[in-house]
């Protein structure tokens, strides 16, 4: 059975905050190219064609889950869905966007993860996936294609799964993380917060974080690495891409990304916080444009 990580354990494992003050030079050209996919625009298809219309639906946000490269995609489950025991040929990471998701050993007690929860599923390990309510999750792989295989083909490559309920996410503010810049504000104000999920930022390494933007926030997300990919997990966010005019409102499940150095203008005009999952090579910075407020 997977272990639900306590906050103290997660902070120990993800103590990459010690390297956040390093200046990371981008390894790509200064020019950026940006892209955006709204939740209302995604094209749904079968996640596992063998299950037909009764199986989960899937939609690529970036990359191609049927190809050889890294990919980020959405998966939608109907209420009451429960898969048979199975394995995957590749390891994946998951973020719950809506509904409740259970992903664990076939004999494990149910642990229903709410929106904002994070889990990993190692390649080759037998598991089931279930859903309560119409549930949507963001799934990410480092190399495809993403395939479903029977339990009899199970193997152990040494990885171990992780489930992290959203209540156990460790959030850090500007007093701890130099990625967050609140000009003219004391660190104790209700500003942006970061949570480190996997990877490390030094030497432009790949990493995954959660970024929480409070209600009323307005500022910039500045990427210093070769690739930034962000998915809205909770709330809504107005985003103006670095190389485009005008902003669009992104709802949960929407995506924006860029390559090279880029500055994206973001604002949260709603009365609730917004949470983004951000995949990045190297570091990025969040800078408020509301000094003193």
Peptide bond into 145 cis (omega under 30): yes
Give the per-residue pLDDT at 279.
Answer: 97
Element (DSSP H or E) covering residue 13: helix 7-13
Task: Label residues 259-280 b or e (16+ Cβ within 10 Å = b).
Answer: bbbbbbebbbeeeebbbbbbbb
The pLDDT averaged over each successive group of 10 residues in the chain (293 residues) is 41 32 36 88 90 87 96 97 96 98 96 98 98 97 96 96 97 89 66 95 89 96 89 98 91 96 94 96 90 53
Residue 292 has a pLDDT of 52
Q: What is the per-residue pLDDT across 31-45, written as a single tens digit (0 to 9) for each? A: 568 999 999 999 999
Answer CATH for 41-167 from 2.60.120.10, 2.60.40.10, 3.30.9.10, 3.40.50.300: 2.60.120.10
Q: Where are the domains of the chain?
A: 41-167, 169-288
pLDDT at 22: 28
pLDDT number for residue 189: 65
The answer as to CATH 2.60.120.10 being correct for domain 169-288 is yes
83 alpha-carbon distance from chain centroid: 23
- Please tell me if the domain spanning 41-167 has the same topology as the one spanning 169-288: yes
Surface-to-core class of residue 188, CB atoms within 10 Å of its CB (0-12 exposed, 13-18 middle, 19+ buried) = exposed
Residue from 157, 94, 150, 96 nearest 127 by CA: 150
pLDDT, residue 120, reads: 98
Q: Are 182 and 175 in contact (CB under 8 A)?
A: no
**Which segments of 142-267 are extended strands (E)?**
148-150, 162-164, 180-181, 193-199, 206-213, 218-223, 227-234, 237-240, 248-250, 255-259, 262-267
Can you tell me the distance from the alpha carbon of 28 to that of 32, in angstroms, rounded to the nearest whole number? 9
pLDDT (0 to 100) of residue 184:
60
Question: Using one digit for the tens of pLDDT, what is the confidence trace for 100-136?
Answer: 999 999 999 999 999 999 999 999 999 999 999 999 9
Helix (H) or strand (E) holding 45: strand 45-46
């Amino acid at each position: 059975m997977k272990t639900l990580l306590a906050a103290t354990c997660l902070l120990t494992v993800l103590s990459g905050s010690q390297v956040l003050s390093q200046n990371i030079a981008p390894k790509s050209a200064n020019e950026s190219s940006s892209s955006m996919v709204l939740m209302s625009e995604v094209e749904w298809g079968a996640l596992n064609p063998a299950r037909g219309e009764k199986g989960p639906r899937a939609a690529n946000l970036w990359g191609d889950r049927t190809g050889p490269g890294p990919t980020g995609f959405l998966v939608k489950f109907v209420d009451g869905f429960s898969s048979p025991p199975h394995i995957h040929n590749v390891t994946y990471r998951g973020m719950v966007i809506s509904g409740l998701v259970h992903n664990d050993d076939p004999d494990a007690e149910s642990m229903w993860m709410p929106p904002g929860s994070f889990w990993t599923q190692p390649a080759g390990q037998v598991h089931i996936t279930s859903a309560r309510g119409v549930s949507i999750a963001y799934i990410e792989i480092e190399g495809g294609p993403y395939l479903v295989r029977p339990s009899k083909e199970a193997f152990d490559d040494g990885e171990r799964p992780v489930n992290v309920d959203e209540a156990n996410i460790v959030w850090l503010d500007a007093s701890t993380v130099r990625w967050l810049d609140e000009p003219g504000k004391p660190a104790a104000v209700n500003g942006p917060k970061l949570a480190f999920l996997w990877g490390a930022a030094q030497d432009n390494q790949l990493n995954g974080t959660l970024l929480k933007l409070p209600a009323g926030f307005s500022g910039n997300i500045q990427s210093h690495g070769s690739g930034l990919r962000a998915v809205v997990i909770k709330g809504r966010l107005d985003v103006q891409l670095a190389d485009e005019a005008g902003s669009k409102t992104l709802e949960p499940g929407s995506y924006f990304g860029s390559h090279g150095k880029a500055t994206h203008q973001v604002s949260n005009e709603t009365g609730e916080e917004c949470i983004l999952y951000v995949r990045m090579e190297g570091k990025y910075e969040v800078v408020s444009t509301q000094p003193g407020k």
